[in-house]
Every structure is written in structure tokens, then in C-alpha cells.
A and B are shown apart, each in its own frame.
Chain A
Amino acid sequence: MGENWAFVAILTVIALTIPILGILAAMVLAPKRPGTIKNSTYECGLETVGDAWVQFKVQYYLYALIFVLFDVETVFLYPWAVAYQSLPLLALFEMIIFLLILGIGLVYAWRKGALEWI
């Protein structure tokens, strides 16, 4: 097991060097002639108006919140699924209750329009 994680760590380091090597190679190979207009924000090809870092709507936050809840749910589902064959049939109903309670949340979000993209 230790070797596996050591490998993951080393792969992470090597995976990080790939893009860095690419950028370093481009630094050597690519021309470098900066200019005021060239280095201005492209956006959509026109002059930019106002700041880009604006306030976003609450809809994104609601999606992220529902996502976190269901992500936590799946984390509980995984050990349940792996252990399922050694568990009695009761485990299925225990999980169905768990899913139904979260399902109520999904239905509530649905009915309240939290899943609508406005």
C-alpha cells in the first residue's frame, strides 16, 4: 500500500513537470514581442467595459450546495455498496430510507425552483 501512494506522489510531481516543461520550452522557442494593444484583454474582440470580477447570482451557490449534499451521500453509498454482499437485506431498506430523506431534499429544491436555471 505504501508503495502505491509513493507512486501516486511521484506521478503527481511528474505530471506537474509536463506543463512546466512545455511552458519553459515555449519561453525558449516562441517569439516575445509584447505590445500595449496585444496584451490588453481580448474578451470578445471589442474594448472591455467595466470590471470582469462582478457579482454572480445566487443560483450557482444553490447548485453547489445541492451538489455538496449529494456528494456526501455518495461517499456513504460507496462503503455500503462494497459491503453490501455481507450485509442482510435490511441494509437495503436502511439505505432506501437514507436516499428517500435526501430525495425529499431534491424534490423540495425542484418544487421551490432551485433547480431552474434563470
Chain B
Amino acid sequence: MLHALPLAESLAETTTSLSGWLTGLFSGTAPEPGASSSAAGIIVASVLKATVIVLIVQIGMLYATWGERKIIGRMQDRLGPNRVGLFGLAQPFADMIKMLTKEDITPTAAHKWVYNLGAILVVPPAIIGFAVVALDRNLIAADLSIGALFFFAIGSTAVMPIFMAGWGSRNKYALLGAMRAVAQVVSYEIPQVLSIVGVLLLAGTLSMNGLIHSQGPIGDAFPGVWFILLQPIGFVIFLLATTAEIERTPFDIPEAESEIIAGYHTEYAGIKFGLFYLALYFVTISASAVGAILFLGGWQPPFAFLAGIPGWIWMTAKTLALVFVFMWLRGTLPRLRVDQLMAFAWKVLVPISLVNLMVTGLLAKLVAGRAPLMVFGAFTVANVAMVALLIWLVAGWRRFNAARQITFERPAVQAVGAALRRGAA
């Protein structure tokens, strides 16, 4: 299936055209008849593909840190990094050199193996998810039939290194941070995986390329539009749950420095501390890429007449747009409290995503085979109705809460007053 070239041949092709070579290398889904696939060919091609992916992601990560500091800086009326190189563009490399040349301190009390393995294993889950990210029509490393599920399964393993880091550090705050992080990540995993069921239901596939193909530019057949238009509630839930899943502000309680120092990576120094940041930015990029594939049509242009622009430009732009949203959230919202955080996942996001799923299922059956405009209209009406219902429920809940506080606060105040008077007497 793979357009596997012998090493010499593929290297020769590299010099001629990089993008052509990439397309050839990644053409795992569009096989050319008679393409040879020997064991050695598969391994060589896989190693090359993996190296290309890691390099792209590495550069993306370095500049995501720079971009985040610039963007947050501007939002807070600062300039951000601007000393190293033009516009501070060399800042990420300066940071990298700093990380590498700092002393790597391992606490004597730590459980050496678990402590070190925790730092090492935090990176692979963040990288492996990129295997199923499609950059262009034929630019996907592994178009697994279960692509979307694969991504979330790999993402779910990220809790293990966190736990190992917190426990291996043998530090109260690190362990507490790890426990909180794991509880948070697993709680938000449920709304995250539930929010995309509506998309899967409309696309009828789990394969990343299949999902993108069912979101063709406007003008194509049903579903024919980006799923964000049919599943806006699912998209918002996905965005919120993913923010919590990758522990970014406002859901970065595991590293809330005012409460638990730096959470599970309190005891890490130098490069091992750097690895945690590496993983954080890797997952930010991969989650944005998957969000772009699931809800924004991946490499598909928004309108048919824009098809001249290459797909990888659309995909990159959409991914960067979502990365920007994550940074924007960080610059805007304050951190939640840990009990609010857990309640938000289970009492708000899970019920909403279940209702959204049922409504989507019903609508998909009702409008099956209808004209795209009618499908879009039906979904819009349903989504507006759901949002209105939600606003009504929230308003009612707030009124109820306000009323309850008035009734219950008085006896409590009286009891405290009585106790104080008794103490004074």
C-alpha cells in the first residue's frame, strides 16, 4: 500500500522536490498500482516519515513557545521576547540551550527509576498522536481505520507518566499535583470523547481521511459542510475538554503555583523539566490539529472556489488558529478552583454532550438523504434550541442558588454567632 522507495532513490528524490517527496513518502492511502513493499522498504520509509514528523513537530513546538509568549505578552500590554534575534525569533533556541546546560538535579529521596522514567515517558504519547494527523490529501503517516479513536487512546495514556513523575518525586506537593492532574485528565476525557461522537455519527467513519472527506467544501453533498456548523456544541465541549485534558489555563490546577508549588514537576530541573514543557506544546499542537480535522474540515478549503490553494496550507492555518484559541483562553480566563473544575466536567459537560448526542442521532435519521441546505437548517434550529434551553437552565439554577443562599445563610450565621458568644462567656 505504501509508496515505499529504496533509500537511495528516495534521497535522490529529496533533492529534486521536497513536497513531491513528502507526498510520495506519505502516500499510504493513495497506492500506486504495482508499488513494491518489502519489509526493508517499509522500515526505511517509516523511519524517514517518523523523522520528518518529529522534525516538523519540534520546530512547531519551538515556535509555539515563542508565539505564546508574544501573544500573551501583547494581551498583557507587554512586548514579549524581543532581544534574541529579530523579534526574539531565536529565543526558543536560547531556551533550549539553557535547558540543556542547566544542572540536572535528582533528589536523593526520589525513586530513581520511576522519577527518571516519568520524565522520559511524558514525551512519546504527545508525539505518537501525530501518526494519524493528515496534513494534506495524501500527507498522512498512518491512516488507521480507527484514526480518531487511536488519537484519544494514545492521549489517555498520558496520565501514566504524570503519575510516575508525581509519585517518583517523593514530594507531597508533587504527589498531590499528580493525583489532581490524573483526576482532572480522566474526568475531562469523558466529555472529550463524547463530544466527537456526533461527528462520527454524521461521518460514519473513524478514519481521519474519511472524516475529512465527509466535510467537503460548501457545494458538495451531505454532510458537505464543516462539522463545526452542524456540531457547534460538540466543538465547544471538545475545545473546553481538550484545554483541561492538556492542562492549559484555565484548567492548569495541577501546576497551580499558589496552591501546590509546580505540581507533579516540582522536583524536576534542567532538561527533565524541559521535557514536560516539550510534551505540553506537542499535545497543544496535536490536539489543535485533530480539532481542525474533526470540526474544521482538515485540509479541505471552506468554499469550492478556493480549491486552488494547497491543502496543507489550509490544514496549517486551521491548526494554528486553534493553537491561538488555546493561547487566547490562557490570556483571558483566570484559573478555576479544583472543586469547580471537577463539577464542571461531570455536572455540566457530560450531561450536555449526552443530550447533544441524542439530538444529533435523532436529526441524522430525520434528515437523512435531504438537501444539504435543509440538513444545515434543521441542525441550526436544533442547536439554537439547545443553547436557549441551556441558558434558561443556567439562569434558573442561578436564581435557585441565590434563593437558597438567603434561606440557608442566616441560620449558619446565627449558629456561628451563638458559638462565639458562648466562647466569650
Q: Which A residues are closer than 8 A to B by beta carbons?
A: 1-8, 10-12, 14-16, 18-20, 22-23, 25-27, 29-34, 36, 38-44, 48, 50-54, 56, 60, 63-64, 66-67, 70-71, 74, 77-78, 81-86, 89, 92, 95-96, 99, 103, 106, 110, 115-117
Contacts and interface: CB of A to CB of B under 8 A. Distances in A.
Contacts, number: 236
A7 B120 contact: no
Interface in B102-137: 102-110, 116, 119-124, 126-128, 130-131
Contact of A43 (B266, B343, B347): B266
Given A15-B123, A70-B194, 18 more contacts: A3-B28, A14-B47, A15-B54, A16-B120, A19-B122, A30-B100, A30-B103, A31-B101, A39-B105, A41-B107, A42-B266, A43-B173, A44-B173, A67-B187, A85-B204, A103-B354, A106-B346, A116-B343
A100 B322 CA distance: 34
A22 to B, nearest CB: 5
Contacts of B43: 6, 10
B106 A43 contact: no
13 contacts: A3-B46, A7-B141, A8-B144, A11-B53, A11-B127, A12-B124, A15-B127, A20-B120, A26-B99, A64-B186, A70-B194, A85-B204, A115-B346
A74 B197 CA distance: 8
Which of A6, A18, A92, A115 is most buried by chain B, counting CB atoms within 10 A of its CB?
A18
B46 A81 contact: no
Nearest to B261: A44
A33 to B, nearest CB: 7
Q: 10 tightest CB-CB pairs across the interface, nearest first?
A: A117-B339, A15-B127, A26-B271, A4-B142, A15-B124, A81-B200, A81-B201, A10-B46, A7-B46, A67-B186
Contact of B123 (A18, A40, A95, A116): A18
Given A11-B131, A115-B347, A39 B106 contact: yes
Contact of B368 (A6, A56, A66, A85): A85
Contact of B171 (A43, A63, A81, A84): A43
B42 A63 contact: no
B144 A4 contact: yes
A43 B261 contact: yes
A40 to B, nearest CB: 7
Contacts of A63: 183, 186-187, 342
A36 B108 CA distance: 8
Interface stretch (B6-14, B358-366, B388-396, B403-411): B358-366
B200 A82 contact: yes
Interface string B75-103: 00000000000000000000000011111
Contact of A99 (B104, B190, B338, B358): B358
A52 B361 CA distance: 49
